[in-house]
Amino acid sequence: MTINDRINFGSKLGVVAAAAGSAVGLGNIWRFPYELGQNGGGAFLIIYLLCVILLGMPIMLSEFIIGRTGQANAAGSFKKLAPGQKWWIVGLMGVFTSFLIMGFYVVVSGWTLEYIVQAVSNQFINKDTATLSRVFADFSTGTLRPIIWITVFMIITATIVLAGVQKGIERSSKFLMPLLLIIIIALGIRAVTLPGGIDGLRFLFKPDFGKITSEVVLSAMGQAFFSLSLGMGCMITYGSYISKKTNLSKTVVQVTMLDTVIAILAAIAIFPAVFSLGINPAQGPELVFITLPNVFAHMPGGYVWAILFFVLLCVAALTSTISLLEVIVAYFVEEYKFHRITIILLATAGILFLGVLSSLSLGVWKDVQIFGMGFFSLFDSLTSKILMPVGGLLIAVFTGWKLNKDSMLEELSGGGQFKTNFFKFYIFLLRFVAPVAISLIILNQLGLSQWLGF
Ligand code: TRP
């Protein structure tokens, strides 16, 4: 595939659909609720929203600008914008981050395939919470079955990226996404009306500020980066495919709103059920997989809802893994002239290896620990709590301090047709708010703040 093909594919891509496809995924429906549950509920939600608005939106806009101005992959775009300097390393770091994210993301994506099968074979009916938890634990800590699903899922991702049919996928996600939204709303209505469901809403929307710790703040920030696909060049790569006619700031607002609404709706579907069923909200990664099957079992037409839900969850995961793989592929194809197929095969092999490590770390290898974590949590924490925020910080510094402001304004205004009255505030966020907030949050968590005397 030549560079021209790449741009071609890009100009026809429904940009909101593609970027939203990347952003909306397991991060919204699987990760957001359990992170919220583990971090005390309402207070986490508020900090999360602050991070989305003050860090996420400006950094997404910066990534789009870098990509569309640079017209290349994550590292290549930096090379074009800052020739002879080391900024491209930020892009390279993103490629590495992409591998690590995929390393645990495919495990959970594999779970969605298992749950499609369970839904189709009507496995949720007449099972109580304890049984559903046990079923999930037996499956996810098993050896062979999760690995088979990871492999199947990775083959699907690789085939789509190889065939270059992202466009088809993104186009279909234009109607699949609203469908997902409808299902989550229906689930939410059922969950809220369960006996005791209101306690879940209270947990979600009544912040207890006493619960805010440095860990909660870091987790909320990490979740914001993760959910919006930021800090590792994903939106730079997609930005390079965006046509010059597109209004970037409007795209950012649309993608961010959609992503945030879906996450909050997912939480509304889950927490009332969690409280109604007496599930521990701080359960962890299994939260969605043991809570929602229960809700389906208590819903008219639950059989069909369940199938639809897990199929759409799987598709949402797929549009995210496509974007992650594309970061790696675009980098190696453009920078090292790899054939698309070669790098897709190599990357898939590497990701499968990491995926197997992550999956086994929940079962037979749970005692293999690095920094007190198994591979699954290690890949997750390392990426969302360190690599993505640091990447985001560097992207903010690059666009805030380094990149030519006139050319940025030019990108944003589309030759004068789009509003840019937010520009000063945007640059202020990039120059000061993002670098200071991200550094403080990370330092604070590392305990360095005491050491540095603040
Ligand atoms: N944002 C996606 C989700 O919420 C996951 C994802 C896709 C991602 N691309 C990314 C996360 C890039 C971080 C960086 O499921």
Tens digit of pLDDT for each residue in 217-261? 999 999 999 999 999 999 999 999 888 889 999 999 999 999 999
Domain containing residue 333: 12-445
Q: Which residues pair with 373 in a beta bridge?
A: 370
> Which among 16, 61, 49, 23 has a CA at the least distance from the CA of 425?
61
5 domain residue, yes or no: no
Q: What percent of the chain has pLDDT over 70?
A: 94
pLDDT, position 7: 45
Q: Which CATH number characterizes residue 236's domain?
A: 1.20.1740
Residue 380: inside a domain: yes
* Cα three-residue angle 259-256-397, rounded to 5 degrees: 130
Q: Determine, yes or no, domain membership for 450.
A: no
Pocket test for ligand 1, best of 52, 73, 227, 327 (most atoms within 8 A of CB): 227
In this structure, the chain runs to a length of 454
25: CA distance to ligand 1 center in Å?
7
**Chain-centre distance of CA 179, in angstroms?**
19
C-alpha 231 – ligand 1 centre gap (Å): 10
Dump pLDDT digits (tens) for 263-305. Answer: 999 999 999 999 999 999 999 999 999 999 999 988 889 999 9
Q: What distance in angstroms lies between residue 53's CA and the mean position of ligand 1's atoms? A: 17
Looking at the structure of the chain, the number of domains it has is 1
For 118-158, the pLDDT digits (tens) are 999 999 988 999 999 999 999 999 999 999 999 999 999 99
In a domain, residue 327? The reply is yes
**Mutate which of 22, 26, 383, 388 for ligand 1 pocket (most atoms within 8 A of beta carbon):** 22
Q: How many CB atoms lie within 10 A of CB 207?
A: 17
Distance 308 CA to ligand 1 centre (A): 22
Q: Is 322 part of any domain? A: yes
Q: How far is CA 67 from CA 7, 170, 242, in A?
A: 12, 19, 8
CB 352 within 8 A of CB 151: yes
Ligand 1 centroid from CA 357, angstroms: 20
Q: In angstroms, rounded to a whole number, what is the distance separating the alpha carbons of residues 100 and 388? A: 11
Contact 344, 104 (CB under 8 A): no
Atom of ligand 1 nearest to the CA of 231: 14
Is residue 1 one of the residues assigned to a domain? no
Q: Which atom of ligand 1 is nearest to the CA of 320?
A: 7
The closest-lying atom of ligand 1 relative to the alpha carbon of residue 28 is: 4
Ligand 1 neighbours (beta carbon < 6 A): 22-23, 25-28, 101, 226-227, 229, 232, 234, 320, 323-324
For ligand 1, the distance from its centroid to the CA atom of residue 134, given in whole angstroms, is 29
Please indicate, yes or no, if residue 205 is contained in any of the structural domains. Answer: yes
